[in-house]
Amino acid sequence: GINTKSACDGMNAYMAYKVTTKTSLNLFNRNEFTVKRRFSDFLGLHSKLASKYLHIGYIVPPAPEKSIVGMTKVKVGKEDLSSAEFVEKRRSALERYLMRTVNHPALLKDPDVIQFLESTELPRAVSTQALSGAGILRMVNKAAEAVNKMTIKMNESDAWFEEKQQQFENLDVQLRKLHASVESLVCHRKELSVNTASFAKSAAMLGNSEDHTALSRALSQLAEVEEKIDQLHQEQAYADFYLFSELLGDYVRLITAGVFDHRMKTWSKWQDAQVMLQRKREAEAKLQYANKPDKLQQAKEEIKEWEAKVQQGERDFEQISKNIRREVGRFEKQRVKDFKVVIIKYLESLVHTQQQLIKYWEAFLPEAKAIA
């Protein structure tokens, strides 16, 4: 497999990310290599992949978000987005983006991906403004609107697609709700951390002012315990965020990528071609009775041209349908794997927190009992 790790250092006026890949695949020249990439490089990679694969039904991982504010735009507690936290969030997002991309068997083989991971120099991606995740979303939504406006009644011989689309829409709603719940959780946990630190300080002051020696020591110990617990709260808040919030956010963005709309467009292109072919045939039939041999020849040629287009249209439609089925199957399997991994990591963090708490309380108990 491939392991990607990003680190970052500042260079001049922008942030560069170190991408390290370890692999045993033959696709690459070496087994281990590191390259430096900027955020705009990631967006550039995404735009290339999107333009190549979205319209044939591949679920292309969405570009990392430019803005770091959560999707629900909930103000995350009293924290101001310190640059360290911002950089870490972005680094994590970029890493997840690459992981998802290389986990896709077709995308892994794509020369742009290989070049991105391997080559020391990369041509600078230009005009990436419109290419951020939000930008893609806007483009897709415009396409969707256009399609709806055509009021196509798609003769869905395959109910599978209609059902799947509905399921994905439901899933989108559910995921957004879950995401909002988790953001709320993270927010409150950060609040708890602030409150705990504040209480710890006040307990320390009590310990200092208390005359009774043993009580004073116990109160000071209590202050230390509460400080340690505050630390645990912060770590747990990170776990909540990085494990769940980001996962859910990623998945919402993933399924709004709009593969079903592309299939609609492909279908309508095919239908249009059939309509056109029919017109050409009618035109040719009319010309049979007029005495215009050149025009008749041209009409026959146009018929051939449109027959080919109809065949191509049908092939494209079958291809995208096949691709989507496969992609959806892969998505559903991957989703289960992703969630399982995250849940296990989360449980490990929960167990760790409780075990730390046990240590702290066990250490404090004799101090409390020693008050005489």
Partner 1 sequence: KGSNEESAPSVSANSIKITDITQDGETLTFAITSQKSSSSAGVCVFRTYEDFDWLQQSLLSQEDVPGLLGVIFPPLPGKPLPSTSFTQAKALKQFGFLALGDEWKIYCKALELYLQQVAAHTTLSKSKALSSFFSSTESPGKHRGKKGIFKRLSHVMEEMRKEGHKDVDKFFQSERDSCTHLSVLFKVSTEKFLDTVLTKQKLAVACGHFSTSLHLVCNHDNPAAVTFSKICLKLSDIIEAVKVNFEKVSDNDVSSMGLALDLESRYQEAKKEMLFRRTCKLVELEAANRNSERAKPNKKAIMEGVQKATQKEFNLISSVAKKEIEQYHRARVSVLRDFLVSWCEKQLSTAQETSALFSQHLEACRGFVV
Residues that bind partner 1 (CB under 8 A): 163, 167, 171, 174, 177-178, 181-182, 184-185, 188-189, 191-192, 195-196, 198-199, 201-203, 205-206, 209-212, 214-215, 218, 222, 329, 332-333, 335-337, 339-340, 343-344, 346-348, 350-351, 354-355, 357-358, 361-362, 364-365, 368-369, 371-372
CB 260, min distance to partner 1, A: 16
Burial 168-184 (b: 16+ CB within 10 A, else e): beeebeebbebbbebbe
Count CB atoms within 10 A of the CB of residue 146.
Answer: 11
Nearer to partner 1, 31 or 184 (CB): 184
- Tell which residue, 55, 14, 20, has the closest CA to residue 38: 14
CB 342, min distance to partner 1, A: 9
CB 237, min distance to partner 1, A: 10
**Cβ(24)–Cβ(31) below 8 Å:** yes
Nearer to partner 1, 93 or 247 (CB): 247
**Cβ(107)–Cβ(60) below 8 Å:** yes
- Tell which residue, 286, 335, 283, 321, has the closest CA to residue 103: 335
CA distance 341 to 335: 10
CA distance 356 to 183: 25
Tell me the two tokens of residue 4: 């990607």
Three-class SS state of 258: coil
Nearer to partner 1, 315 or 369 (CB): 369
Determine how β-strand 3-11 pairs with β-strand 32-38: unpaired
CB 264, min distance to partner 1, A: 21
DSSP-derived secondary structure letter, 11 = E
Three-class SS state of 1: coil
Nearer to partner 1, 86 or 361 (CB): 361
CB 1, min distance to partner 1, A: 17
Three-class SS state of 353: helix
- Tell which residue, 186, 175, 173, has the closest CA to residue 241: 186
CB 227, min distance to partner 1, A: 13
CB 84, min distance to partner 1, A: 24
Nearer to partner 1, 114 or 214 (CB): 214
CB 226, min distance to partner 1, A: 8
Tell me the two tokens of residue 331: 């998505």
Nearer to partner 1, 177 or 292 (CB): 177
Nearer to partner 1, 112 or 367 (CB): 367
Nearer to partner 1, 7 or 358 (CB): 358
